[in-house]
Amino acid sequence: MLEEKDVYDIRDLFNNLDISIRQLAEVSEINEVTLARIRDGKPTYSRTANKLLKVFSKIYERPFYLNKVTGINVAISGKKRLKEVNLGKQSPKKGWTENFTREVELPGQPNT
């Protein structure tokens, strides 16, 4: 039984299930491996996380939202990351800037 709280941890939602992860995969239409990755804190898309939280809401008969469940690592798309870097909200990760600069090199310009 899952106790009523203001904020939940994703592991608690998984650990208190009365169904297997295989059954959860069938009900949620999310691959078992993806569910295990979400449970273990690996990055996932926000639409996948929201899809899972909607299923948890039905199972536990209470609403769950991304801002009320900790432990979900929502991936940031490359376009959004680039926008945040350009706006100074986020510093680029090592390696990412090297790949990015190669992609935007213009013909006839020397490599730096």
Per-residue confidence in pLDDT tens, the chain, 112 aa: 788 999 999 999 999 999 999 999 999 999 999 999 999 999 999 999 999 999 999 999 999 999 999 999 998 766 665 555 556 555 555 444 333 333 444 445 555 5
pTM of structure: 0.69
Q: What is the pLDDT of residue 108?
A: 55
Please name which of 24, 17, 79, 13 lies closest in space to residue 33, comparing C-alpha atoms: 24
- As annotated, the residues of the chain forming the CATH 1.10.260 domain(s) are 8-74
Type and span of the H or E element at 105? none
Tell me how far apart the alpha carbons of residues 27 and 6 are, in angstroms, rounded to a whole number. 25
pLDDT of residue 11: 96
Residues 8-74, CATH architecture: Orthogonal Bundle (1.10)
Closest CA to 68 of 2, 10, 3: 10
